[in-house]
Amino acid sequence: MTTATRSPRTADRTEPGGPPGPRTTSSTSTLAAAPTVFGALAVLGGTTALMPLVAGVSWLLPVAEVVTVVWLVGIGARLLRLRPWIVELLQLAALAVALTSLFTTTGIGGVLPGPAAASEAATMLGSAWDQIMTSVPPATATAELGLFIALAVGAVALVVDLLIAGAKTPALVALPLLGLYAVPASIYSGMLPWYAFVLPAACYAALLALSGHRGVRAQSHAAVSLGVSTAVIGAIAIAASVVIAGSATGIGTNGRIPHTSHSGGPIGLSPWALLRGQLTDGRPEDVLNVTGVSQPAYLRTFTLEKWTDDKGFGFGPVSADVPDFDGTVPGAATGDDSTVVTITPQSFRDKYLPLYPDATAVSGIGSGWNYDKSLQTVFRTDPTVPGPYTVTISPTTTTAAELRQENVQSGGPLTQTGTLPSQVTSLANSITAGTTNPFDAVDALLHYFTDPANGFTYSLSTPLGNSGNALVDFLTNKKGYCEQYAAAMAIMVRSLGIPARVGVGFTQGVRQADGSYEITSNDAHAWVEVKFDKSGWVMFDPTPLVDGQGGLQGFVPAPSGGAGAGGATGTTTPTASSSGTAAPTTTHSLIGALPHQGQKIPEADTSPATSSATGPLGGHLPAVLIAIAGMTLFVLLLAAPTMFRRARRRKRLALAAGHRFGAGTAAWQEIRDTLIDHGIGPGDEESVRATANRLARVAHLPATGREQLKVVISCAEQEWYGAGAVGPQSPQPDLAPGVQTVITALDRTQPRRWPDRVWPRSLRGRR
């Protein structure tokens, strides 16, 4: 008796009683594909941990598209058996193309990254960072923030794919996945959703099961048993961890995983007034209750003075001119008819404090608040839920006639306009032609927006235009909500040399039976403020009136009603709105684009105008889907010949292992096509045995391989020439191991060039 030995190269490829010899490339690809699928799903599951930090879900689709592209390109490239470093380069390129097509407008052909697209992306990332530094969770789903998240998650997807398919270390996938939790766990004070843990944990368990037990894949009953066992154990472990974590341990920064739906959350306002955006209807949530106010007025939270071309207004520098502020408002004019108002926050959480513009003193807000004299803003470094506080108001009554006698101080930051399109300045000059003083010029612009005859309407979204400039698009389409109206009018006022900025806060709310005013999340609003030499900052609200909410102006109009919307802050009581009577909202917050007159934001994207879409989804969605579909189709077409060739190989190997008549023919056909694929096909006049001898030399077949090849040749010749001796019922030996040996030897000694991997020679009729 002799002891069978196997060479080191093939010892791990042939299992006694198992499948034939070496694994085929197709089986290897299948095994590599399944773990990477679960790796990509784990990344997407982990991304849901960011949901409490960003309003709505519109940002999730672009992230899913980016992860899908990374995975598809990785699968396609590995099907072609490209070198690992080439696979990674292709995935990086695909990630760049996906981000360019999704978020920028200056890409080559709209999809390919170039210098202009890189510059645009850098600007957007800078804006995203500014938004992160000045917002409180959940932040508005702007295009800038969407790009920031998609880039970060795409990089994680690349690392995960590399660890699974490239480095063959799937267990290390846990490290980049944990990175997805680092940000929300460190900066979010609320509870992270349970599914953000369950989804990636389940995918990670499946990933480890598929990656760690390839040897049993060939035995179907063992594979099924392993899968069932893994699923049961994983389900029990995950369920137990969720129950234990939810009842005993802290997750994130607020203690427990919520087990019931969250009906609402603290409300904050985003420091932006953007030229593009989109809102969704939402049920209002009570934010503030005001008692003691005699007439309706707007509450201002902060003001925006920094203009960015083709984007809108945002925060500039904020200075703590009065640190630890709690008392008299610097520079406020006091009067004899002061009123003390009590403001009770309900679902309000922010770093900026709502105040009436005519406030002269504040008390009861506690420590940690600062006052910026220029912006007239009370702020702190971290968001908080303030308790009830009182505000002393000394309303001033300024008339249109008085403002016509005043001048303004031109020049300086408050009249900076950047590079405005000529259409905008021409329109502003045309509207104000014939006016003789700053107030009439501003009032003419106000009337232009609020007069129904001019065609401006309130809309939940800003339609796309083809001018290439968001401001021009808005002025052309004449549809939008308060942010667009405030930003457009303010910059047009500045184009006339008149200082202007954007105020952000809440409209008057709805008067209750007890005389108080209830202000909801749907009352968040933006307006224009113009600085006059004597009267100071005066409010102008250009947004068309809807449902009676809003529509206040900071002056008493002339008897003829010259003001665009009529009514004076603190002097006129507008019609009460019914917008405050709905049930509490189910969305987390209102941080971001400001809703107006019965509309709530944030599931929507309020994308700055750095993209021609309204956001990560926006009007580019069809183009994005087409780009993704085209890329997917390209990958599939590229891999189709290889996939067809491997399908043919699997069929022939199954026949060769079937112990039936025809096994020899199928085995030789596969060997012959494999020779052709490697560029060493048989000659026209060469016999089968001569070809086999040459193959043995070229492939450096070991002795066992030569014997297996001889058996294949013998069986094939018997089928071809010995029909009387070998009939259809005659059993044949298992010829698949011999074919597998030849395939493995040729792959090692005669590797194919990459064009031959993309389009195998045997499919082209070439030898």
Instruction: Kindly report, residue by residue over 681-733, the tens digit of the pLDDT.
Output: 777 678 888 888 888 888 888 888 888 888 888 888 888 887 555 555 567 78
pLDDT for 445: 96
Q: Looking at the structure, do residues 232 and 338 belong to the same domain, yes or no? A: no
Q: Which has more pLDDT, 247 or 203? A: 203
pLDDT for 407: 95
Average pLDDT of span 289-317 = 88
In a domain, 616, yes or no: no
Question: Which residues in 296-394 belong to E strands, given as ranges?
Answer: 299-304, 306-308, 312-314, 339-345, 350-352, 359-363, 370-372, 377-384, 389-393
Q: How many other CB atoms sit within 10 Å of the CB of residue 2? A: 4
CA distances from 520 to 506, 511, 530, 737 (A): 8, 12, 26, 74
Instruction: Kindly report, residue by residue over 650-674, the tens digit of the pLDDT.
Output: 888 888 888 888 888 888 888 888 8
What length is written for the chain? 767
Q: What percent of the chain has pLDDT over 90?
A: 18
pLDDT band at 550 (very low <50, low <70, confident <90, very high): low
In a domain, 630, yes or no: no
Amino acid residing at 1:
M
Q: Looking at the structure, do residues 409 and 495 belong to the same domain, yes or no? A: yes
pLDDT for 171: 80
- Tell whether the model's pLDDT for residue 734 goes beyond 60: yes
What does the alpha-carbon distance between residue 634 and residue 630 come to, in Å, rounded to a whole number? 6
What does the alpha-carbon distance between residue 474 and residue 214 come to, in Å, rounded to a whole number? 58
What does the alpha-carbon distance between residue 70 and residue 60 come to, in Å, rounded to a whole number? 16
In a domain, 399, yes or no: yes
Q: Looking at the structure, do residues 254 and 370 belong to the same domain, yes or no? A: no
433: tokens are 């032609």
Q: Looking at the structure, do residues 252 and 317 belong to the same domain, yes or no? A: no
In a domain, 180, yes or no: yes
Average pLDDT of span 302-330 = 87
Among 18-27, 539-548, 746-755, the range scoring the smallest mean pLDDT is: 18-27
What does the alpha-carbon distance between residue 120 and residue 104 come to, in Å, rounded to a whole number? 7
Q: How many other CB atoms sit within 10 Å of the CB of residue 677? A: 25
Amino acid residing at 520:
T
- Tell whether the model's pLDDT for residue 42 goes beyond 90: no
Average pLDDT of span 4-11 = 39
What does the alpha-carbon distance between residue 9 and residue 202 come to, in Å, rounded to a whole number? 36
What does the alpha-carbon distance between residue 153 and residue 44 come to, in Å, rounded to a whole number? 8
Q: Which has more pLDDT, 645 or 636? A: 645
Among 644, 762, 468, CA closest to 26: 644
What does the alpha-carbon distance between residue 393 and residue 335 come to, in Å, rounded to a whole number? 9
Q: Looking at the structure, do residues 237 and 319 belong to the same domain, yes or no? A: no
Question: Which residues in 457-509 belong to E strands, given as ranges?
Answer: 457-458, 479-480, 500-506
- Tell whether the model's pLDDT for residue 502 goes beyond 70: yes
In a domain, 167, yes or no: yes
Among 305, 380, 357, CA closest to 552: 357
In a domain, 234, yes or no: yes
Q: Which has more pLDDT, 155 or 30? A: 155
Across 279-293, 405-419, 534-548, 601-615, the highest mean pLDDT is recorded for 405-419
pTM for this entry: 0.49
Among 364-378, 583-597, 608-622, the range scoring the smallest mean pLDDT is: 583-597
Cβ(709)–Cβ(664) below 8 Å: no
Average pLDDT of span 340-349 = 90
Instruction: Kindly report, residue by residue over 370-387, the tens digit of the pLDDT.
Output: 999 988 899 988 888 888
Domain span including residue 742? 650-763
**Tokens 């599931």 appear where?**
603
pLDDT band at 511 (very low <50, low <70, confident <90, very high): confident
Q: Looking at the structure, do residues 299 and 410 belong to the same domain, yes or no? A: yes
CA distances from 433 to 216, 321, 425, 426, 558 (A): 83, 40, 12, 10, 20
Q: Which of 581, 609, 640 is the last residue of a domain?
A: 581
As for how many domains the chain has, the answer is: 3
Among 73-82, 272-281, 534-543, 713-722, the range scoring the smallest mean pLDDT is: 272-281
Residue 518: φ, ψ to 5°: -100, 120
* Residue 448 buriedness (CB in 10 A; 0-12 / 13-18 / 19+): buried
Among 572, 529, 561, 541, CA closest to 449: 541
Q: Looking at the structure, do residues 106 and 219 belong to the same domain, yes or no? A: yes
What does the alpha-carbon distance between residue 657 and residue 49 come to, in Å, rounded to a whole number? 50
Strand, helix or coil for residue 279: coil
- Tell whether the model's pLDDT for residue 508 goes beyond 60: yes
Among 92, 211, 100, 201, CA closest to 157: 92
What does the alpha-carbon distance between residue 734 and residue 99 come to, in Å, rounded to a whole number? 51
pLDDT for 173: 79
Residue 38 sits at the vertex; the CA angle it makes with 80 and 645, to the nearest 5 degrees, is 25
Among 177, 147, 134, 155, CA closest to 48: 177
Strand, helix or coil for residue 305: coil
Residue 688: φ, ψ to 5°: -60, -45
pLDDT band at 592 (very low <50, low <70, confident <90, very high): very low
- Tell whether the model's pLDDT for residue 593 goes beyond 60: no
Four-CA torsion 132, 133, 137, 141, nearest 10 degrees: -30
Average pLDDT of span 433-450 = 95
Rg of the Cα trace of the chain? 35
What does the alpha-carbon distance between residue 152 and residue 154 come to, in Å, rounded to a whole number? 5
pLDDT for 685: 73
Q: Looking at the structure, do residues 287 and 179 belong to the same domain, yes or no? A: no
pLDDT for 468: 83
Q: Which ranges in 598-662 belong to alpha helices (H)?
A: 621-656
What does the alpha-carbon distance between residue 407 and residue 535 come to, in Å, rounded to a whole number? 10
pLDDT for 188: 60
pLDDT for 257: 34
Q: Looking at the structure, do residues 296 and 170 belong to the same domain, yes or no? A: no
- Tell whether the model's pLDDT for residue 435 goes beyond 90: yes
Among 166-170, 186-190, 590-594, 714-718, the range scoring the smallest mean pLDDT is: 590-594
- Cis link prior to 138 (omega < 30° from 0)? yes
Average pLDDT, the chain: 75
pLDDT for 405: 95
pLDDT band at 630 (very low <50, low <70, confident <90, very high): low
pLDDT band at 197 (very low <50, low <70, confident <90, very high): confident
In a domain, 587, yes or no: no
Q: Looking at the structure, do residues 63 and 187 belong to the same domain, yes or no? A: yes
What does the alpha-carbon distance between residue 558 and residue 576 come to, in Å, rounded to a whole number? 23
Q: Which of 522, 549, 581 is the last residue of a domain?
A: 581
Q: How many other CB atoms sit within 10 Å of the CB of residue 249? A: 11
CB under 8 A, 24+ apart: contacts of 224-233: 230/205, 230/206, 231/206, 233/205
pLDDT for 204: 79
Asked whether the CA dihedral 596, 600, 604, 608 is positive or negative, the reply is positive
Instruction: Kindly report, residue by residue over 123-145, the tens digit of the pLDDT.
Output: 888 888 777 765 556 677 778 88
Cβ(414)–Cβ(500) below 8 Å: yes
What does the alpha-carbon distance between residue 198 and residue 204 come to, in Å, rounded to a whole number? 10
Question: Which residues in 146-283 belong to E strands, given as ranges?
Answer: 272-274
Q: Looking at the structure, do residues 222 and 343 belong to the same domain, yes or no? A: no
What does the alpha-carbon distance between residue 489 and residue 495 come to, in Å, rounded to a whole number? 10
In a domain, 16, yes or no: no
- Tell whether the model's pLDDT for residue 489 goes beyond 90: yes
CB under 8 A, 24+ apart: contacts of 685-693: 688/713, 688/716, 688/717, 689/713
Q: Which has more pLDDT, 575 or 195? A: 195
DSSP letter for 168, please: -
360 phi-psi bin (left φ>0, alpha ψ -120 to 50, beta other): alpha
pLDDT band at 616 (very low <50, low <70, confident <90, very high): very low
Q: Which of 259, 286, 319 is the last residue of a domain?
A: 259
Q: Looking at the structure, do residues 239 and 340 belong to the same domain, yes or no? A: no
